[in-house]
Amino acid sequence: MSKTRIAFIGAGNMASSLIGGLLAKGLDAAQIRASDPGADTRAKVAEQHGIELFADNAQAVQDADVIVIAVKPQAMKAVCQDLRPHLKPHQLLVSIAAGITCASLLEWLGTQPLVRCMPNTPALLGKGVSGLYATAQVTPAQRQQADELLSAVGIVVWVETEAQIDAVTAVSGSGPAYFFLLIEAMTAAGVKLGLSHEVAEQLAEQTALGAAHMAVSSDVDASELRRRVTSPAGTTDAAIKSFQASGFEAMVEKALSAAAHRSAEMAEQLGQ
Ligand SMILES: NC(=O)c1ccc[n+]([C@@H]2O[C@H](COP(=O)([O-])OP(=O)(O)OC[C@H]3O[C@@H](n4cnc5c(N)ncnc54)[C@H](OP(=O)(O)O)[C@@H]3O)[C@@H](O)[C@H]2O)c1
């Protein structure tokens, strides 16, 4: 990436996080450009990151090796169709828009090397995980560029088929909200057991963080970590048995299937 020139179309939350991550990794501000219709957004991002911003998308993509389209899914069609006459065949397009398929993108952009990504919200803090899918035109060097780009805001996993992006959406794209729901429910249960809301919330949040750290840093899987903290007939055992008697695993499977199904359904609607 030391010489790669990157253009961001849309300079909102996700683009700004990626730009910040890339600069922190040592990219020169002169390698990055962005465009956005909002004068306030342009001024804010220019001041925060010291990069050049444009009101015109076509100006931003001139001479770029990689073009990241970071607008809301509803704006993708118009943005891609307007960009089409300004693209050069070697330019790698990276879409981070939720629910827009490669078929739709290529129809709007014309034939281009294309990587479709599904990042998640913790990317805004540099703690994200992104699922990436590359179309056949993407060269190994461009794959590496996309990998390094999304690695600026977290970790990256590659999937083999585009349909797997719906599964990525179900697990990690929508996933932060599942943990927020669990934190909410644990906080409410702690309050019912006699704690103040503030204390219950602190306990639930820090426990989620600590457990995630343990799972990520350990060389054994989550089921083994769970076994290690569950003494037979102890307190954790009582809670886990209660979760399982209420069908916890089946509930999670059903919820993630609903998310994956909705992701595929939205792709059809947004692709029209
Ligand atoms: N935020 C997340 O955690 C997250 C997670 C996964 C995926 N994503 C995906 O990332 C993409 C960007 O999300 P975001 O949260 O960064 O949204 P955002 O903060 O709203 O940023 C989008 C930016 O694009 C600008 N824009 C609108 N029309 C444009 C055009 N024609 N040309 C250039 N720029 C234009 C918007 O300006 P105006 O505000 O003036 O319209 C806004 O500044 C979305 O497609 C979303 O699905 C985001």
pLDDT tens digits, 206-235: 999 999 999 999 999 999 999 999 999 999
pLDDT of residue 141: 96
pLDDT of residue 2: 77
- Determine the atom of ligand 1 nearest the C-alpha atom of 123: 3
Q: Is the pLDDT of residue 103 over 90?
A: yes
- Of the pLDDT bands very low, low, confident and very high (cuts 50, 70, 90), residue 268 is confident
Find the mean pLDDT for residues 147-173: 95
- Could you confirm whether domain 175-266 is CATH 1.10.3730.10? yes
- Determine the atom of ligand 1 nearest the C-alpha atom of 99: 47
- Of the pLDDT bands very low, low, confident and very high (cuts 50, 70, 90), residue 272 is confident
Q: Is the pLDDT of residue 99 over 90?
A: no
| Domain limits, the chain | 6-165, 175-266
Beta carbon of 122 within 6 Å of any ligand 1 atom? no
Dihedral-angle region of residue 158 (phi above 0 means left; psi in -120 to 50 means alpha; beta otherwise): beta
What residue's CA is closest to ligand 1, atom 36? Answer: 10
Find the mean pLDDT for residues 61-83: 96
Ligand 1 mean position, distance from CA 71 (Å):
3
Ligand 1 mean position, distance from CA 70 (Å):
5
Find the mean pLDDT for residues 240-262: 97
Residue 67 phi/psi, 5° resolution?
A: -120, 120
Q: Using an 8 Å Cβ cutoff, are 150 and 119 in contact?
A: yes
Amino acid found at 124: L
Please state, in angstroms and as integers, the Cα–Cα distance from residue 60 to each residue in 44, 51, 96, 151, 181, following that order.
17, 11, 18, 23, 40
- Of the pLDDT bands very low, low, confident and very high (cuts 50, 70, 90), residue 142 is very high
pLDDT of residue 146: 97
Strands (E), the chain: 6-9, 32-35, 52-54, 66-69, 92-95, 114-118, 128-134, 154-158
- Cα(148)–Cα(134) distance, integer angstroms: 14
pLDDT of residue 221: 95
Q: Using an 8 Å Cβ cutoff, are 36 and 61 in contact?
A: no
- pLDDT tens digits, residue range 38-51? 999 999 999 999 99
Percentage of residues in the chain with pLDDT exceeding 70?
Answer: 100
**Domain 6-165 in CATH: superfamily?**
NAD(P)-binding Rossmann-like Domain (3.40.50.720)
- pLDDT tens digits, residue range 186-202? 999 999 999 999 999 99
What residue's CA is closest to ligand 1, atom 40? Answer: 38
Beta carbon of 119 within 6 Å of any ligand 1 atom? yes
Q: Ligand 1: which of 13, 41, 45, 71 to mutate, most ligand atoms within 8 Å of CB?
A: 71
Domain 6-165 identical in fold to domain 175-266: no
- Determine the atom of ligand 1 nearest the C-alpha atom of 75: 28
Mean pLDDT of the chain: 95
- Alpha carbon 224 to its chain centroid, in Å, reads 28
- Determine the atom of ligand 1 nearest the C-alpha atom of 35: 33
Beta carbon of 75 within 6 Å of any ligand 1 atom? yes
- Determine the atom of ligand 1 nearest the C-alpha atom of 73: 45
Inter-axis angle of helices 175-192 and 197-217, nearest 10 = 140
pLDDT of residue 201: 98
Please state, in angstroms and as integers, the Cα–Cα distance from residue 162 to each residue in 39, 45, 111, following that order.
36, 32, 17
- Cα(98)–Cα(139) distance, integer angstroms: 23
